[in-house]
Structure 1
Amino acid sequence: MERVEALVDVAAIGANVRTLRGRLAPGAAFAGVVKADGYGHGALTAARAAQAAGADWLAVVSAREARTLRDAGIAGPLLVMGALTPDELDLALGAAADVVAWTPEFLEAAARPRPDAPPARVHVKLDTGMGRLGTRDPDLATALVRRAVADDRVHAVGLMTHFATADEEGDRFMDEQLARYRAWAEPLKAVHPGLVRHVANSAATLRDPATHLDLVRCGIAIYGMDPANRDPERHGLVPALALRSVVAAVKPCARGESAGYGRRFVAERDTVLATVPIGYGDGWRRGLTNQAEVLIGGRRFAQVGTVSMDNVTVDLGPDGGGVTVGDPVTLLGADGGERILAETVAAALGTINYEVTCGLLPRATRRTVGAAT
C-alpha cells in the first residue's frame, strides 16, 4: 500500500443508491450528487457506481465538473446546480448539462444560440428560505418559467428549491419551505405537467416522502454517511470510504518526553509511540490534535500530539500493543470489530461529516475496491 490511501468501496455506493431508491415515493426519479469530486470519493467512481445502481440523473455544481464527467464518457441527464459565469455557462451547455436560472439576464444568456449545441435545458429556482441562490420572488420565478416555456431557444425542464434545515431532525422550517414551494410550483405543474419538481436532498429524502415529488437529489447518503451526522447504520447506509496509512516508526517515550510540534503531548508515564505518515497535507485536519483515535490490528489507540503536515503520533501504551513497523492503520473505516465513522471525526472537529471526506486532499491516493452492481 501507499503511505496514505482512501479506499473507495464502489459496491457500497451502489448499495446505498439502491437503499435510497427503495424508499422513494412512487414515480420519483433519483439523482446522485457527485459534486466536490464525489464528496471526496472521486466523481467518476461515484457517477459510474450510482448509474450502475439505477440513478436516473447525476448532479454537480460547476461547469468544469460537468465537462469532466462528459469527457470521461458519462451520459444521461446531468444537472449543474451552481452559479455560473458567462464562460462557465458556455462550458456547461457545451457539455449538454442542464443549468439553473433565477434571473431574466441569465435566462436570456442561456437562450443565446450556440453552434452545435441544442437548446439550453433550464431549471428555475425559487429561494424558499435557504437565502442563497434563487429568487425569493415567486412571481418572478413564475415569469421565468413561462418565458422559458414560450421560448423555443430554451427548454424548461424543472422547478427547484433547496432546504435549509432538513438535516435538523425535529425542525419544522422544512415544512414551511415545502409549503412555499408547493404554492409556487403546483399551479405551474398543472399547466405544464412535463416540468420536473425537485426539492429533496439526502436528509429530506430520508425524512419525509412528501418531499420526493418527481426527483430527489441525494449526495451525502450515497456515500454511506448520515445527513444528520449520527450513525448511518440507522438508515441502512454503508460508509463507502476508508482512510488508511501505515506505521512508519515505533519508539519508546519515557515519562516527561514529548512528541510533535509545540509539545502538545507530554507522556505522563513510560509508553510507546507509533509515527503514522499522514497529516493535514493529506487532509487529516490539524484540529484533530489530541482529539482522534486510530485502529491498528482491530484495536483502538489514541492519536496524540500535534497533527503536522506529514505525520501524526499514536500512543500504543506501555507494552506497545504488539504494533510493528508496516502495520496498517485505519483512520476512517472498520478494522476487525471496531470502526471509526466520519461522523465521529466530524464531532471531534466541531464540523460535519461532509467536510471530513471533502477535505481529503489529492496526496491521499484514491483506490477503488469492490465492483459496481
Structure 2
Amino acid sequence: MARATAEVDLEAIRLNCALLDSKAGTATLCAVVKANGYGHGMLEVARAAQEGGASWLAVAAGSEALELRHAGIGGRILVMGVVGREEVEELVSASCDLVAWSDDLVEWALRAETRARLHVKFDTGMGRLGTRSLPNAVRLALRVEDSDGVELIGVTTHFATADAADPSFMREQNAKFTEFVEQVRGFAPEVIAHAANSAATLGFPESHHDMVRCGIGIYGLDPFGADPAVHGLIPALGLKSWLGTVKETAAGESVGYGQTFIAETPTVIGTVPIGYADGVRRLLGGGADALVGGRRVPIVGNVSMDNITLDLGQGATDSVGSEVILLGSDGENRLLVEDWARAAQTINYEIATGLGGRTSFEYRGKA
C-alpha cells in the first residue's frame, strides 16, 4: 500500500490547455513542461498538453528535451534555459529549438551537423538570461538570420511581474520587447515573437504576440496565487493518504517535535504517513487542513520527515486505513495547492514541484 498517492487528472490538463489556447486568441500555445511537468509528470503532461491544443512544448534543460524525444514525443520542443557546449549537437540533431543570447551559443550551433533552429532572447527586465542591450540583441538576431548553418525562428523575453497587481513594469518590458520585434522584423519578417506566461495570457492580451508560453496555468494552478476557478482553470493534482494510527489524546498532552501542539481538551489524533521528505512543507503544521470522512480537520504539530498529525476531534470514530485527502475535494470542501502555498508562505509553483519523495503517482483520463 502506498504511503501517499498523487492523482493527476490528464483531462484537466487538456481542458486547461484548450482554455488557455482560446484566451491566447490568434497566438499559438506553447505548454511549459519543465521540472517534471511542474511535479505532475513530464511525459504524461506533455502528451495531454498536445492533445489539448499545445503546438509547442517548452523545457528548461537539454536533458528534459531529450527525455521527451526518447519517449517518442514529437512536435516542436523549445529549450529555454542554459545548455552546455557538449549538449548542442545532440539537441539540434533531435530537432529541438534553442534559445540564444550570446555569440558563444551561436558558434556552437554553427558547428552542428544539422541546421540549428534558434530563438534570440532580449532581457527586458528579468535580469537573468538574455542580453540587456537592444542593439546587441538585434545584432545577434541579424547574425543568426544571415548565417547559413542556423535558422532564426523566434525572438523572446520573459516578464518579471506578470502576476503583480501593478502592471506598469510589465508594460515597460512589453514595450521594449515590441521595439525589439519590430527591428528584427525589418530583416526577418516571419520571426515568431513570444513573451507571455500564464498570467500574461490571462490578463494582458497586448503581450500575446505570436505565441504564449503557459506553465502554471495548464496544471490548473492560479498564476496569481488565488482560486484557479476564477479563471476557469481546473486543478489537475490531487493528493491522498490514509490514517496510519488513531489514538486518544488527553488534555495537556503534546503532539510532535517541539511540543508546538498541546491538546486543550481531550481529542483524537490521527497520524498520516507522509511528511516533509515527500513535499509536505513544515509550516503546514498548524496552518493547513485535511479532509477525513467529508469534514475538514487541522494538521497539528510540526510536520515530521515521515508523518503528519491531524486533530480528528473529540469523540472521532475514524479508523486506521481511513482515506485522508490532502489536496483535492470531497463534496463542497476543496483543498487547493494555493491553500498550502499561503500556509507555507511560498508560491504554488514551489508546492507542486516539491511533491514526490515516496509518493506514488496515478494518472486518470489517459486518451
TM above 0.5: yes
Q: 2: CA distance between counterparts of 1:251 and 1:176?
A: 58
Correspondence 1:98 to 2:114: no
Which amino acid counterpart does residue 75 of structure 1 have in structure 2?
G
Which amino acid counterpart does residue 354 of structure 2 have in structure 1?
G
Aligned to 1:284: 280
Conserved? CA contact 1:64–1:91, under 8 Å: no
Q: 2: CA distance between counterparts of 1:362 and 1:248?
A: 18
Residue ranges of structure 2 left out of the alignment (5+ in a row): none
Which amino acid counterpart does residue 298 of structure 2 have in structure 1?
A
Aligned to 2:333: 338
Report Cα offsets for 1:78-108 as digits up to 9, x if no partner.
Answer: 0000011212333432432111111111211
Report Cα offsets for 1:142-194 as digits up to 9, x if no partner.
Answer: 11111111111111110000000001133311100000011111121243122
Which amino acid counterpart does residue 366 of structure 1 have in structure 2?
F
Q: 1: CA distance between counterparts of 2:305 and 2:36?
A: 22
Aligned to 1:17: 17
User: Equivalent of 1:253, from 249, 252, 275?
Assistant: 249
Aligned to 2:179: 183
Conserved? CA contact 2:249–2:267, under 8 Å: yes
Conserved? CA contact 2:124–2:173, under 8 Å: yes
Correspondence 1:45 to 2:41: no
Cα deviation, residue 287, structure 1: 2.1
Conserved? CA contact 1:36–1:358, under 8 Å: yes
Equivalent residue pairs, number: 367
User: What pairs up with 1:162-201 in 2 under 5 angstroms?
Assistant: 162-201=158-197
Q: Report SS of the residue matched to 2:120.
A: strand
Aligned to 2:151: 155
Q: 2: CA distance between counterparts of 1:253 and 1:63?
A: 52
Q: 2: CA distance between counterparts of 1:95 and 1:279?
A: 39
User: What pairs up with 1:1-373 in 2 under 5 angstroms?
Assistant: 2-26=2-26, 28-114=27-113, 118-320=114-316, 322-372=317-367
Q: Report SS of the residue matched to 1:141.
A: helix
Q: 1: CA distance between counterparts of 2:249 and 2:89?
A: 60
Q: 2: CA distance between counterparts of 1:92 and 1:261?
A: 48
Cα deviation, residue 110, structure 1: 1.4
Cα deviation, residue 58, structure 1: 0.2
Q: 1: CA distance between counterparts of 2:90 and 2:275?
A: 36
**What is the RMSD computed on CA atoms of the aligned residues?**
1.1
Report runs of 4+ in structure 1 exceeding 2 Å deviation. 87-95
Cα deviation, residue 362, structure 1: 3.8
Residue ranges of structure 1 left out of the alignment (5+ in a row): none
Report Cα offsets for 1:236-295 as digits up to 9, x if no partner.
Answer: 000000011111111100011111122221111110000100001111111222221101
- Which deviates more, 282-291 or 158-167? 282-291
Q: 2: CA distance between counterparts of 1:247 and 1:362?
A: 19
Conserved? CA contact 1:32–1:58, under 8 Å: yes
Q: Report SS of the residue matched to 1:317.
A: coil
Q: 2: CA distance between counterparts of 1:308 and 1:327?
A: 20
Q: 2: CA distance between counterparts of 1:139 and 1:204?
A: 26
Q: 2: CA distance between counterparts of 1:353 and 1:96?
A: 32
Report Cα offsets for 1:292-341 as digits up to 9, x if no partner.
Answer: 11011221000001111110110011111x32111111111111210111
Conserved? CA contact 2:282–2:344, under 8 Å: no
Conserved? CA contact 1:120–1:154, under 8 Å: yes
How much identity, in percent, do the aligned residues show?
A: 50
Conserved? CA contact 1:3–1:245, under 8 Å: yes
Q: 1: CA distance between counterparts of 2:78 and 2:245?
A: 47
Which amino acid counterpart does residue 101 of structure 2 have in structure 1?
W
Cα deviation, residue 371, structure 1: 3.1
Q: 1: CA distance between counterparts of 2:145 and 2:6?
A: 45
Q: Report SS of the residue matched to 2:7.
A: strand
Conserved? CA contact 1:246–1:326, under 8 Å: yes
Q: 1: CA distance between counterparts of 2:20 and 2:186?
A: 28
Q: Report SS of the residue matched to 1:281.
A: helix
TM-score by length of 2: 0.98
Conserved? CA contact 2:254–2:263, under 8 Å: yes
TM-score by length of 1: 0.96
Cα deviation, residue 31, structure 1: 0.3
Which amino acid counterpart does residue 85 of structure 2 have in structure 1?
P
Which amino acid counterpart does residue 360 of structure 2 have in structure 1?
T
